[in-house]
């Protein structure tokens, strides 16, 4: 590739500017500055392009821009040695040079940052109102479904229960089992120091039944099923399936949201219960191996010192968690706009928000129950 | 360019230089054979329209030529370089000599329109930021988009504008060959006609070779120099569109003599 060159020769009656070589985008870097800084010191400039081997729009832009600036400086410009095709190209390019070229936006300033904080705050408030509205709508349809149970889509409900409940059993059970093991193991090391090994039973049963079993199950379900809800309804939204439903007189809330929320309301308590049992099993096994607490003794102490209330407190929370996960996932799905990218963003947001809300709700329940003295 | 210009063929093709030469191409997805021993030449400076029924592998052919799909057999030369088996370096070099505009634009969604057009310049040249911006906005203006759209993101553009922006990006490096996948699909008739005109103008001004997959009979009559019909897993027939009506094949007959074709033909003659 011949590098392009630009040389200026004083002539008898002006300046002859010789441009030669391959004036194409790929090779402009070397002459770009020479072109940009060129200032004519004569009233007559002849652009001699005879030596140009090839020209593309990038090169034509440089030539057109140069000619334009020379003209603006009050000099006369003449082109020399152009083929018809080249002069047509330069003509086309100079026609199309925008008066006010667009630019890449500058890096964000402090003001932009402040503005974006403001916009986010307003957005968060609007989102809160919108999600509360959606919660109300869902509850209304839920009540209507209870009053008119034949409106419930049973096939959808069963398939959702299989997806969110049945298929989640292995991971939830394994998780519960491991939590039990960890608690027993950690508890044992501490309790041994006081010779109070036997209290490991209460440690495991109360923490698993009351808090950890259901909380961790809800977190797993939020990650597993909440994301699936948002992704599937969200992509339906992108493909205008939701709009199609509305035009056919179908209520998307009733068709899509209710089966999912009801499925969660049914399966989350069951999954939580499975996690509880698995947690007790894991804890019992570990206490037996590590501390020599026999299964018989474990069960006896469990019966004596851990009331049924501990289990009940855990279970009471389950439907609330289910509602929060289902409503947030479906609401996020309904916020999907336009592109596939939006589905991804909303799915992430759905998981983060529902896990956060589940933990916050759990904290509120803890305060409530301790005030109530249970 | 480099002295890789193809030897002109003897006889009738003496004046023509094949910029793309596809030989015995076979494409297969599982048991389904899409192309079998397909041959095709694209001449320098022409606008070639590829037509064919749904599922005849028009887009597959385009994707195979630009290297997005690996064929089961056959050879493809672009500007004298074997793009399937040639040396890696040669193939990388040749990629800069073509531009592809995908059906729905395939613009990078996280970049503005101008940044999209500047992306290939940034990647393949060493020119300064300000010249890059100037050339970027020149290309945007060439494809008939207002400068206002420079700072917009692809999601903020209409379908027709996205197609134009995609063309601007495809033209960023001043390629010799431009591949267009259904450039007028989904555009209103006015927008489609304007886009056809634009392709024609750019092709003349920049001396482009255009490889265009299309369904649009209006485009075929308005700007295509030659048409290649894909059917029966190969290029069934190729030639100027006027000759297509004389081809004795049921699909070709139906396509080029149907009511829509006649209307398009009349429109094409008016131009």
Highest mean pLDDT pick, A101-105, A255-259, A289-293: A255-259
Q: B148 contacts in A (CB within 8 Å)?
A: 102
> Residue B81's beta-bridge partner residues?
B78
A102–B133 C-beta distance less than 8 A? yes
The most confident of the ranges A8-12, A113-117, A359-363, B132-136 is A359-363
- What is the mean pLDDT of the segment spanning B202-229? 85
- At B15, is the pLDDT very low, low, confident or very high (cuts 50, 70, 90)? low
Judged against a pLDDT cut of 50, whether residue B99 lies above it is answered with: yes
CA-based nearest distance A343→chain B, Å: 14
8 Å CB contact of B174 and A105: no
Is the model more confident about B159 or about A143? A143
Percent share of chain B, pLDDT over 70: 93
Using CA coordinates, name the residue in chain A closest to B125.
Answer: A26
Per-residue confidence (pLDDT) for residue A123, from 0 to 100: 93
Structurally, chain A folds into a number of domains equal to: 2
What was the pLDDT predicted at A168?
A: 95
Count other Cβ atoms within 10 Å, centred on residue A77.
17
Q: Contact at 8 Å (CB) between A322 and A261?
A: yes
| Chain A residues closer than 8 Å to B208 by CB | none
Residues of B whose CB is below 8 A from A26: 96, 124-125, 173
Are B133 and A92 a contacting pair at CB < 8 A? no
A93 touches chain B (CB under 8 A): yes
**A208, A280 Cβ separation under 8 angstroms:** yes
pLDDT at residue number A65: 86
- Using a pLDDT cut of 90, give the percent of chain A over it: 51
Burial of A372 (0-12, 13-18, 19+ CB in 10 A): exposed
Query: Last residue of some domain: A39, A67, A96?
Result: A96
Are A52 and A183 members of one domain? no
Count, residues in chain A: 374
Tokens found for residue B103: 């059906």
Chain B partners within 8 Å of A56 (Cβ): 174, 206
Report the gap between the CA of B66 and the closest CA in chain A (Å).
20
- Cβ of B126 within 8 Å of Cβ of A89? The answer is no
- Where is average pLDDT lowest: A91-105, B80-94, B218-232, B233-247? A91-105
> How high is the mean pLDDT of chain B?
83
Taking an 8 Å cut-off on Cβ atoms, the answer to whether B142 and A92 are in contact is yes
Contacts of residue A100 in chain B, CB cutoff 8 Å? 147
Stretch A2-18: mean pLDDT, rounded? 80
Which whole number is the average pLDDT over A82-92? Answer: 82
pLDDT for res A133: 95
Distance from CA of A33 to the nearest CA of B (A): 9
Residues of chain B neighbouring A338 (CB-CB closer than 8 A): 155
Question: Are residues B205 and A92, on separate chains, in Cβ contact within 8 Å?
Answer: yes
> What was the pLDDT predicted at B11?
42
Residue A22 in domain: yes
Lowest mean pLDDT segment, chosen from A59-63, B117-121, B233-237, B264-268:
B264-268
Across the interface, which of A56, A65, A104 has its CB nearest the CB of B174? A56
A296 at B interface, C-beta within 8 A: no
∠ CA(B177), CA(B181), CA(B184), 5° rounding? 110
Which residue is closest to A25 within chain B, CA to CA?
B173
Closest chain B residue to A340, measured at CA:
B109
- Summarised one tens digit per residue, pLDDT across range B137-175 is 888 888 888 888 888 888 888 888 888 899 889 888 888
Question: How many contacts (CB atoms, under 8 Å) link A and B?
Answer: 96
3-state secondary structure chain B: CCCCCCCCCCHHHHHCCEEEEEEEEEEEECCEEEEEEEEEEEECCCEEEEEECCCCCHHHHHHHHCCCCCCCEEEEEECCEECCCCCHHHHHHHHCCEEEEECCECCCCCCCHHHHHHHHHHHHCCCCHHHHHHHHHHHHHHCCCCHHHHHCCHHHCCHHHHHHHHHHHHCCCCCCEEEEECCCCCCCHHHHHHHHHHHHHHHHHHCCEEEEECCCHHHHHHHCCEEEEEECCEEEEEECHHHHCCCCCHHHHHHHHCHHHHHHHHHHHHC
Q: CA–CA separation, A27 vs A206, rounded Å?
A: 74
A340 touches chain B (CB under 8 A): no
Are A236 and A285 in the same domain?
Answer: yes
By CA distance, what is B201's nearest residue in A?
A92
Structure tokens at A358: 């589940």
Please answer yes or no on whether A25 and B109 come within 8 Å at the CB atom: no
Report the distance separating Cα B121 and Cα B135, nearest Å. 9
Residues A321 and A217 in one domain: yes
Q: Of A70, A96, A122, which closes a domain? A: A96
Mean pLDDT of chain A: 89
Of A36, A102, A104, the CB nearest to B147: A102
Contact B134 A28 (CB under 8 A): no
Same domain, A83 and A187: no
Q: Give contacts of A 105-134 with B, CB under 8 A.
A: 105
Q: Could A102 and B206 be called an inter-chain contact, meaning their C-beta atoms sit closer than 8 Å?
A: no
Look at residue A1 in the predicted model and tell me its pLDDT.
64
Decide which of A43, A72, A96 is a domain's last residue.
A96
- Asked whether residue B267 carries a pLDDT value surpassing 80, the answer given is no
pLDDT tens digits for range B104-124: 888 888 888 999 998 888 888
On the question of pLDDT at B39 being above 70, the answer is yes
Residue A129 lies in a domain: no
Residue B5 is predicted with a pLDDT of 39
- CB contacts, 8 Å: B152 with chain A: none
My answer on whether A238 and A349 are in the same domain is yes
The answer on pLDDT for A273 being more than 90 is yes
- A345 part of contact set with chain B, CB < 8 Å: no
- Flag whether A358 is in a domain: yes
| CB contact (8 A) between residue B142 and residue A103 | no
For residue A337, the model assigns a pLDDT of 87
Compare A308 and A268 and report the one with higher pLDDT.
A268
Task: Judge whether A54 and A23 are in contact, CB under 8 Å.
Answer: yes
**Residue A106 resides in a domain:** no
Burial zone of A321 (CB within 10 Å; 0-12 exposed, 13-18 middle, 19+ buried): buried
One domain for residues A194 and A67? no
Asked if pLDDT for residue A303 goes beyond 80, the answer is yes
Cβ-defined contact of B147 to A32 (cutoff 8 Å): no
The mean per-residue pLDDT over the stretch A197-219 comes to 91
Answer whether residue A102 is part of any domain.
no
Domain membership of residue A281 (yes or no) is yes
Check whether residue A158 and residue A92 sit in a common domain: no
* Residue B216 pLDDT level (bands cut at 50, 70, 90): confident
Domain match, A175 and A283 both = yes
Residue A346 pLDDT class (50, 70, 90 cuts): very high
A145 plus A285 within the same structural domain: yes
Between strands B73-78 and B18-29, the pairing is: antiparallel
> A29 and B137 in contact by Cβ < 8 A?
no
**How far off is chain B from A4, nearest CA to CA, in Å?**
14
Task: For residues A71 and A145, state if they share a domain.
Answer: no
* Contact: A58, B207; criterion CB under 8 Å: no
Structural domain including A175 reads 137-372
Q: How far is the alpha carbon of A3 from chain B, nearest alpha carbon, in Å?
A: 13
| Interface touch A103/B114, C-beta < 8 Å | yes
Q: Is there a single domain that holds both residue A201 and residue A321? A: yes
Q: Is A116 a member of any domain?
A: no
Question: Highest mean pLDDT: which of A83-87, A96-100, A139-143, B5-9?
Answer: A139-143
Chain B CB within 8 Å of residue A88 CB: yes
Tell me, yes or no, whether A304 and A362 share the same domain.
yes
The CATH number of residue A12's host domain is: 3.30.750.24
pLDDT at B129: 85
Q: Does A286 fall in a domain?
A: yes
- Residue B261: pLDDT over 80: no
């Amino acid at each position: 590739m011949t590098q392009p060159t630009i040389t200026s020769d004083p002539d008898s009656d002006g300046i002859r500017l010789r441009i030669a070589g391959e004036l194409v985008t790929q090779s402009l870097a070397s002459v770009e500055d020479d072109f940009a800084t060129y200032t004519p010191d004569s009233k007559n400039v002849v652009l001699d392009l005879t030596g140009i081997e090839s020209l593309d729009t990038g090169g034509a832009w440089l030539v057109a821009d140069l000619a334009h600036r020379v003209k603006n400086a009050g000099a006369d410009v003449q082109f020399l040695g152009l083929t018809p095709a080249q002069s047509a190209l330069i003509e086309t390019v100079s026609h199309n040079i925008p008066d006010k070229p667009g630019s890449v936006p500058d890096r964000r300033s402090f003001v932009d940052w402040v503005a974006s904080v403001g916009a986010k705050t307003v957005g968060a408030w609007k989102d809160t109102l919108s999600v509360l509205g959606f919660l109300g709508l869902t509850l209304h349809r839920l009540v209507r479904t209870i009053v008119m149970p034949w409106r419930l889509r049973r096939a959808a409900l069963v398939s959702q229960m299989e997806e969110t409940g049945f298929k989640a059993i292995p991971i939830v059970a394994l998780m519960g089992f491991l939590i039990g093991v960890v608690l027993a193991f950690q508890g044992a090391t501490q309790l041994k120091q006081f010779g109070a090994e036997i209290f490991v039973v209460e440690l495991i049963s109360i923490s698993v039944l009351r808090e950890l079993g259901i909380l961790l199950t809800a977190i797993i379900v939020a990650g597993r099923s909440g994301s699936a809800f948002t992704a599937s309804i969200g992509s339906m939204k992108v493909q205008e399936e939701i709009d199609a439903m509305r035009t056919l007189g179908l209520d998307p809330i009733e068709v899509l949201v209710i089966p999912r929320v009801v499925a969660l309301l049914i399966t989350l308590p069951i999954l939580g219960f499975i996690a509880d049992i698995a947690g007790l099993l894991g804890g019992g096994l570990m206490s037996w191996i590590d501390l020599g607490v026999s299964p018989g003794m474990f069960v006896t102490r469990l019966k004596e010192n851990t009331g049924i209330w501990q289990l009940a407190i855990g279970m009471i929370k389950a439907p609330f968690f289910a509602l929060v996960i289902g409503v947030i996932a479906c609401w996020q799905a309904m916020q999907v706009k336009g592109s596939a990218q939006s589905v991804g963003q909303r799915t992430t947001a759905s998981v983060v928000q529902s896990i956060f809300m589940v933990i916050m709700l759990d904290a509120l329940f803890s305060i409530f129950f301790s005030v109530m003295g249970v | 360019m480099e002295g890789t210009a193809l030897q002109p063929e003897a006889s009738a093709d003496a004046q023509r230089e094949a910029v793309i030469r596809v030989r015995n191409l076979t494409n297969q997805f599982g048991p389904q054979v899409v192309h079998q021993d397909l041959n095709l030449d694209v001449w320098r400076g022409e606008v070639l329209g590829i037509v064919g029924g749904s599922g005849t592998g028009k887009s597959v052919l385009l994707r195979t030529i630009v290297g997005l799909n690996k064929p089961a057999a056959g050879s493809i030369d672009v500007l004298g370089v074997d793009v399937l088996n040639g040396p890696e370096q040669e193939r990388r070099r040749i990629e800069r000599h073509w531009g592809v505009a995908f059906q729905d634009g395939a613009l990078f969604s996280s970049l503005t329109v101008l940044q999209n057009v500047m992306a290939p310049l940034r990647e393949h040249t060493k020119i300064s930021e300000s010249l890059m911006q100037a050339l970027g906005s020149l290309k945007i203006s060439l494809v008939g988009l207002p400068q206002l759209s420079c700072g917009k993101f692809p999601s903020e553009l209409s379908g027709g504008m996205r197609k134009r922006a995609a063309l601007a990006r495809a033209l960023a490096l001043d390629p010799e060959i431009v591949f267009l996948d259904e450039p007028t699909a989904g555009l209103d008739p006015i927008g489609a006609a304007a886009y056809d005109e634009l392709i024609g103008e750019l092709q003349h001004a920049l001396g482009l070779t255009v490889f265009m997959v299309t369904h649009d009979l209006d485009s075929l009559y308005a700007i295509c120099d030659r048409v290649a019909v894909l059917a029966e897993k190969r290029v069934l027939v190729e030639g100027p569109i006027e000759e297509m009506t004389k081809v004795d094949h049921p699909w070709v007959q139906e396509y080029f003599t149907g009511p829509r074709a006649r209307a398009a033909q009349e429109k094409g003659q008016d131009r």
